[in-house]
Amino acid sequence: MKKTLLAIALSSATFVSSAPLMAQESPFSSNVGLFSDYRFRGLTQSDTKPALQGGFDYANANGFYAGNWNSSIGFTDAGIESDFYFGYATELGGVGIDVGNLYYYYPGATAGDTNEIYLGLSAGPASFKVSYATSDYFGVDDSKGHIYYNLGVSIPVSDKVTIDGSMGYHAGKGAQAKGYDYLVGISVDVGNGFALGVSYVTTSGDLKPSADDKGAVISISRSF
């Protein structure tokens, strides 16, 4: 369940530009990171233990993108979550538009497999994304049609430091709980593709925080 601010991130493609007599950037990229806890929409997915994460992406200059992202987890015997996604991103009148499909796969524990379609909009530092489950939501009974909304902001305070914030809402369906999740964090580009991050995550409503559902997440990651 990918996740960064985006992380949350997931739904934004990297556009590739070219110029005459200049080499074009590769449309392929990858990333790897170590996180003190894997949080998805406010809730721990690693039993509050560290998680190793990483993925691969393809982003075409025409706006099409696809990728795979993986994380160690602690709530099923699968031990790993593997996400597959594809979509199309463009800009219209200064507004970024992103539509796509995301499939969450749990090897050996497929009852939790989930498929979502999503629409994302962005303008300046702000973004909004809505995700609709076309299957039961992570194995919750009668939860097909679950909707998750996320409003985010990413503000660069220097060429090295960015402050992030987000608020998400689970509309709920079937036995799936309703509630909000919140994140505020800071990330620092330390050079050579490395970044350090720290964020605080909590929840409210039917997702009211317990000892496992609130706290800080520290990370180190690298992009290639």
Q: Is residue 6 part of a domain?
A: no
Kindly report the CATH number assigned to the domain that includes residue 160.
Answer: 2.40.160.160
Average pLDDT over residues 1-18: 37
Q: Is residue 11 part of a domain?
A: no
CA 46-52-56 angle, to 5 degrees, is: 120
Confidence of residue 146 (pLDDT cuts 50, 70, 90): very high
**How does pLDDT run across 133-142, given as a tens digit for each residue?**
999 999 999 9
Q: Is residue 5 part of a domain?
A: no
- pTM across the whole model: 0.85
Query: How many helical (H) and strand (E) elements, i.e. helices and strands, does the chain have?
Result: 0, 14
Query: CB–CB of 127/153 below 8 Å?
Result: yes
Confidence of residue 74 (pLDDT cuts 50, 70, 90): confident
Q: Is residue 15 part of a domain?
A: no
Q: Is residue 89 part of a domain?
A: yes
Number of domains in the chain: 1
Domain that holds residue 138: 28-223
Confidence check: pLDDT of 18 > 50: no
Q: Is residue 63 part of a domain?
A: yes
Quick one: 164 exposed, middle or buried, by C-beta within 10 A (0-12, 13-18, 19+)? buried
